[in-house]
Amino acid sequence: MAARSTNVTLLNRAGRFNLFKLKQELDHGEWTTEPPAIIGNLGSWESESDGFATGTEGRVTYQIQTDEGEVIGQLRLHWDNPFVGSNSYDESVTPQATSATTPGFSVVHTGGGGDNASVTFTLLDGCCSVSESGEISCAVASPVVSETQRLAAVWEAVPGPNWFAVHGLTGAEYQQRFDELLAQGFRPVDVSGYSVDGQDRYAAIFEQREGPAFQARHGLTNAQYQRTFDELVGQGFRLVDVSGYEVGGEDRYAAIFEQSAGPAFIARHGLTNQQYQAAFDEAVGQGFRLRKVSGYGVQGQDFYAAIWEADGGPAFVARHGLSNPDYQAAFDQFVGQGFRLRQVSGYNVGGQDRYAAIWEADGGPAFTARHGLTSEQYQQTFDQLVAQGFRLTNVSGYSVG
């Protein structure tokens, strides 16, 4: 371990804006991990000393941008961890909020002590203050969001590559974000299409890592999805993620394909409740296990899309068509028996929320799952868990009422 190091975490709690790196500098030391080019909800990096009796000092500047790419502000962060003397930090943001009712941003930092320091900077949309205990209080100027939007998600306390999560994006916004992240070396690993007030919305998780060639699609009609599936599978791609949803009274699909080897798989979509149960029983009877399930309502009827793989693994259980209390009861039962939630899909059928989920009986890192969260509740939960070292592994958007 270096004599001096500083690990920096930046929490972006101005959730309707994104951060794009403008410049980075090191006055002393070297980068262990460089600041990410784009930050959605969270980013982290680290610098350390690189010589005898030296410390590390650096700074980074991010532009604050809207989903349309308009630059509306700038965030500057500075850290200094000297070999002799106390650690110091300073931060600034423009435009700066001066009260709970004026527009603008504020930024604060917590932690940062010791030779090998960890400091957290938090950007907020509005005015904030920090108590002696490090607790942050603020007035957040949230955008208008639909009262019917809900999210269900799973977080795990696992390390991994840089990642980026989005939710509540329109089709055009999602495509723009997809293109930006792709240019930065990110790839989609989980996507959820859903409908809010009759308009399609998207939630997704991206990871900044190498991998096999992939293809991702969204907004596909039933016929377009089938044609895309046939073409890509014929080219050696395999379906790794699928989400069904309703737009304008018709089913739509978002999916991720990867050009990689793997076990035999079965993929089905547009299945009624009865058809899905029959397909499930047949596939499991042939030694396949359920890897992904997406429930969705179309004109008041529930449908299902799913992926099974002929692969070994721990015991698993799967349920679908569960009401909110039934899902909570199933969750409590299976977790109490040593199962862990791997994937959850929330969906709307006739104005009521329903849930489909997969649990597996295997050991693993700590995990947390939530469902029925409003956009604001989801963002708050997200920020809290990410600050505790959790990363989002599964997200599902849906509507209620």
In the structure, what pLDDT confidence band is assigned to residue 130 with cuts at 50, 70 and 90? low
Let me know: does 124 contact 106? Beta carbons within 8 Å.
Answer: yes
What percentage of the chain reaches a pLDDT higher than 90? 70
Lowest mean pLDDT among 114-118, 346-350, 373-377: 373-377
| Bond before 82 cis per omega within 30 degrees | no
pLDDT of residue 354: 97
What percentage of the chain reaches a pLDDT higher than 70? 94
Q: CA angle, corner 186, sides to 184 and 187, nearest 5?
A: 145
Residue pLDDT, tens place only, 64-80: 998 778 899 999 999 99
> Alpha helix (H) ranges present in 189-299?
222-234, 273-285
In the structure, what pLDDT confidence band is assigned to residue 142 with cuts at 50, 70 and 90? very low
Residue pLDDT, tens place only, 269-315: 999 999 999 999 999 999 999 999 999 999 999 999 999 999 989 99
Instruction: With CA atoms as reference, report the closest residue to 322 among 356, 276, 282, 283.
Output: 356
CB atoms within 10 A of CB 94: 12
Instruction: Report whether pLDDT(251) > 50.
Output: yes
Instruction: With CA atoms as reference, report the closest residue to 96 among 107, 87, 105.
Output: 105
What is the rounded average pLDDT for all residues in the chain? 91
Instruction: With CA atoms as reference, report the closest residue to 189 among 208, 172, 169.
Output: 208
pLDDT of residue 143: 47
Q: How far apart are CA 273 and CA 281, in angstroms?
A: 12
Instruction: With CA atoms as reference, report the closest residue to 154 among 6, 292, 15.
Output: 292
Instruction: Report whether pLDDT(126) > 90.
Output: no
Q: How far apart are CA 64 and CA 138, in angstroms?
A: 19
pLDDT of residue 4: 95
Tokens (6 digits) for 337: 């028996």
**Residues 368-374: what's their mean pLDDT?**
95
Instruction: Report whether pLDDT(144) > 50.
Output: no
In the structure, what pLDDT confidence band is assigned to residue 147 with cuts at 50, 70 and 90? confident
Backbone angles phi, psi at 34, to 5 degrees: -80, 155
Residue pLDDT, tens place only, 152-203: 999 999 888 888 888 988 999 899 889 988 888 889 999 999 999 889 999 9
Backbone angles phi, psi at 292, to 5 degrees: -150, 135
Domains of the chain: 5-140 (2.60.270.50), 149-399 (no CATH)
In the structure, what pLDDT confidence band is assigned to residue 146 with cuts at 50, 70 and 90? low
Tokens (6 digits) for 143: 């955008």
Instruction: Report whether pLDDT(234) > 90.
Output: yes
351 CB burial (10 A radius; 0-12, 13-18, 19+)? exposed
Tokens (6 digits) for 62: 């991010």
pLDDT of residue 180: 85
In the structure, what pLDDT confidence band is assigned to residue 131 with cuts at 50, 70 and 90? low
Let me know: does 207 contact 190? Beta carbons within 8 Å.
Answer: no
Q: How far apart are CA 367 and CA 336, in angstroms?
A: 14
pLDDT of residue 140: 47
Tokens (6 digits) for 391: 């990363």
Strand arrangement, sheet containing 214-220: 214-220, 250-258, 238-247
Instruction: Report whether pLDDT(16) > 50.
Output: yes
On whether the pTM is more than 0.85, the answer is no
